[in-house]
Structure 1
Amino acid sequence: MTNANAKALGLLSGTNAALDAFITFNSNPLANFDLDPLDGITPFFFDLLGVAAHEIGHMLGFVSGVDDLDYNPGFSADDYPFVNTLDLFRYSTDSAGLNAIDWTADAWDKYFSIDGGATPLAQFSTGTVFGDGRQASHWKDDFDESKGYDAHYGFDDFNIGLMDPTAPYGPAAPVITALDILAFDVIGWDLRSSEVPEPGSLALLAMGLAGLAAMRRRKQA
């Protein structure tokens, strides 16, 4: 897990001196970042604040160890047992039937669930190499090519949330959704609100660990 996530769970001291992460941005003017979203995002520019929030989301723990498997063909899941906190809530139809999470690098549908896989809340991306072409550390890409922009950056509806794998050109802008907030809640982050989803983070994390104990591992195709 990331350092920041470990701090949120009390596994590292909040005053630990190690860097949680570092984020770099392209300083080339051709990167076309809009620096002020309050007045709208300039067409064909990217919302810098939204992109930064997305990258901070990864730092906070929205990451999947499936990417390690996906980038290292020829090795089994046993060789890369890097299950991240969010992976404790990663299921497929097959794995849920076995009361286990699905930590595999393939193109089968994977979904986010906080009740042991019984209720799919959102789809995950499945990997750039053996999956759907997007890093597994994201929601499923909701890009709609029928809207006329190019196949990587065009219009993106962000129906699932900020942690979508592709950023849109303006005038669209990334938004944080209830699903983003729920995902961060269950991996250990608390909201500054009395309306925290129930059951609480630690109880949900325990449910995820139960799924980890019975994890179904399937070798890469």
Structure 2
Amino acid sequence: MDTIIMSLTPYFAEIISVAVIAVFMAVSPGADFIMVTRNSIFYSRAAGLYSALGVSLAIWIHVAYSIAGLAVIISNSIVLFSVIKYLGAAYLIYIGWKTFRSSSKSEIEQPQKENKQLSNWSAFKVGFITNALNPKTTIFFLSLFTQVVNPQTPLFLQIFYGAIISCAHLLWFSSVSVFLSQPALLNKFNLYKGRIEKVIGTLLIGFGLKVAAATSS
């Protein structure tokens, strides 16, 4: 144990930096937050939690290509970056438009019926795709693994950094889902459900347009 601690001593500052950055990355408002919020209040707590799980597992895609050094290639390739960018933007705009258009009197009067319309697997996919196709996340991981993480950092420690970031996202978004899906809050949300849907739909479309305008520099 002492040997392991001694071997990690040179990386303590790096570990702390990654942990702090991971927390700020998770809590920063963005498409992931809006999507988890949407699924938590319009469908169910389970939908929000599975979306949070999807977001946290998608983090590993970014970790994998960053460790492999592919983040530099992606950010420097106009074609690859553009493919990721426009797929992500199109997905957010599509979900945003569906949310914006979904408001109706019958849905407001029958929230429990709507809760059954999104399966756990569908909720997971929404969270996973939203994070995986976000070019801003690609840029973030490129910055993290080139400016914060030393190239000499052992592979197992880089994987550990990925675990820290993934867990930070899972804990944060799970907490968001649990908080927003409390019965008292849901009752209030249902009173203004149509307006909230339009706001969230507009935000998702806005994030989609923002993603479409993203650059790799």
TM-score (norm 2): 0.29
Flag the structure with larger Rg: 2
Report the TM-score, using the length of structure 1 for normalisation. Answer: 0.28
Specify which structure has the higher proportion of helix.
Answer: 2
Which is bigger in relative contact order (C-alpha 8 A, separation at least 6)? 2
